Structure 1
């Protein structure tokens, strides 16, 4: 069995895995329960017949599309003797899923409007001010493994650098699988992956710091327990992200070792890349199980029994304080969300990061002036650095 055929079979497996992920996308396990297909609905309408019908339709159309695209990619790739078809097929499958999602989003928006789903409910909002006065702290101890791996890589590089050959081999993906590109040995190329480690670590720490300050979408019907859930969710998410950063730095350490030793073993490359990535996926599983915003977290009460507990003196209630049973539902804020619930624009919202309503995690508020100024500054710096680099390279 030649290399191209093996790559095609691997790409087919990836396509099927992608299709399975897209198939599960409308599940409440991966999205806020009361925001099906990016449409905000009252909690008692989250499993309405209209919602269930759109889920069935989305999946009934996506499943055969996944099989057709996968088979077509395998056949066309074999005929053209190219694995690049797999990337095109993945893009096609994502476009099909996006079109089905948009269709379901529009259908539910029309159903909500026709049925006046918010006509007889009390809307409200809640916030935990202690997230500003007593925020969840960044767990710096969990950043130590990443920093240690960076130091180890840098020290190892400093030791081997004087003995490196004039040319080094850098593994790259191509249409014909993994190839090795010869690069001139300089300080910058030899330590390029060390710089990547430093950048990765800084980005993850910055992301965690931003996430800990992001706006919390608390459940207005049970503000105290949802506030406790959110704090626990932030703490576990911060630790998981820093743990994933350490695993990715280990992968970069392995790639640096291969580059410095001129190793071109496919088996070693697979281990260096595969093991840390699989471990990172394993670390990510608990994040998915917690649900969007930690909605499925079960907190232990003060006596050790299952159930929610209060926030303490700095939160929304004392220890063991019961939820009020407010009878409120989240505000209908669809007017601030575009692109089938994927893009948030609200100039009146001071938050830069807000919880996603499609998928898990956070997204940016494109209507926030501070975010726009920061983004413009970063783009200007990047453009200026590119121009300087091109000018120096041509002179």
Structure 2
């Protein structure tokens, strides 16, 4: 119970901190997912919404934490603590959306793009000389997955006849199934599927269409190549740490080990990797490589392709992955049919794991 509570508080704190700092690490020309000219990045309307947004997020975080702790003390149900994290995420989007709408209204009322020369920039060298896929960064995930599979094969004869496939808040098994290949190696299958999935996402990032600044085309193209490479490496590092957590969870199951710290075996490596990934991407996200270059052009006003400021839907754009409008990393182009296929693959992987772990 203590481990689950500590983990929930850490996760809640990380989500709250991330929500507070996101406006500072997002490109200044897309505050809260709204495309604005560079000269309007520090407009009083934008500055005011950043301040209001942070106050709202802070209050929502304190309320979510207080309610979660209160219910936990009253009922002892540790599930209520992680649920408070989900509630905070929902409240965060509400805070984001309110700021998004206010800035869109200010942009429309002030005709911020009127009289400006809009344009786009394209790095044509991405087709002939794209950034290289970081194969060495994929190696740790592959090695950990292979080591997990080999260890499972060696331990299989001596495994308990009944395997614990889930641990409760106190570290005690609360779901058990008869030993079988499907149940024993369920997390190995997850490792294989997740490693393949995120490696494919890293490859998609390498081939993604960058959002170049037409005012600084050369500098932003150099920055984009660097950021793409950093992002792909960070994603592959993240999947390696997830695989490491699953190796620890598999060992608990295979050896029949019971410990109240079981929830941390999987969560700590993943949380550490998430924090490192966020820090690395944040350090590289805001600086877009201007270097004094200025063509006099500004970004196109392309808000119509972004629903709610976060979801990109453009059927005419063949890109599967595009830079995220607000926050860090990339997002799917939901107008591309391959996005639906990708989500279907994720759902199928989850369903397969549930069948193996519940059905044995």
Q: TM-score, normalised by structure 2?
A: 0.87
CA gap of 1:11–1:262, structure 2 versus 1, over 3 A, is: same
Distance 2:170 2:58 in 1: 28
- Shifted more, 208-217 versus 162-171: the winner is 162-171
What's the counterpart of residue 335 of structure 1?
A: 304
Distance 2:267 2:78 in 1: 20
What's the counterpart of residue 355 of structure 1?
A: 323
The unaligned stretches of length 5 or more in structure 2 are: none
Shift, 1:290, TM fit: 0.7
What's the counterpart of residue 311 of structure 1?
A: none
What's the counterpart of residue 270 of structure 1?
A: 264
Q: 1:16-165 maps to which residues of 2 (within 5 A)?
A: 16-25=13-22, 27-29=23-25, 31-165=26-160
Q: Does 1:261 align with 2:252?
A: no
What's the counterpart of residue 332 of structure 2?
A: 364
Paired residues of 1:336 and 1:346 also in contact (CA < 8 A): yes
Please point out which of 192, 203, 209 is paired with 2:197.
Answer: 203
The unaligned stretches of length 5 or more in structure 1 are: 298-306, 309-321
Paired residues of 1:127 and 1:218 also in contact (CA < 8 A): yes
CA gap of 1:162–1:84, structure 2 versus 1, over 3 A, is: closer
CA gap of 1:370–1:9, structure 2 versus 1, over 3 A, is: closer
CA gap of 1:83–1:255, structure 2 versus 1, over 3 A, is: closer
Distance 1:349 1:276 in 2: 33
Distance 1:296 1:225 in 2: 7
Q: How many residues align?
A: 353
Distance 2:86 2:273 in 1: 26
Distance 1:358 1:210 in 2: 19
- Shifted more, 100-109 versus 164-173: the winner is 164-173
CA gap of 1:230–1:55, structure 2 versus 1, over 3 A, is: same
Distance 2:92 2:338 in 1: 33
2:24 is paired with a residue of what secondary structure? coil
- Shifted more, 214-223 versus 76-85: the winner is 76-85
Rg bigger for which structure?
1
Distance 1:271 1:164 in 2: 19
Shift, 1:116, TM fit: 0.9
State the structure with bigger RCO (CA 8 A, min sep 6), 1 or 2: 2
CA RMSD of aligned residues (A): 2.9
CA gap of 1:189–1:17, structure 2 versus 1, over 3 A, is: same
Distance 2:91 2:53 in 1: 10
User: Which of the two has greater helix per residue?
Assistant: 2
Q: TM-score, normalised by structure 1?
A: 0.80
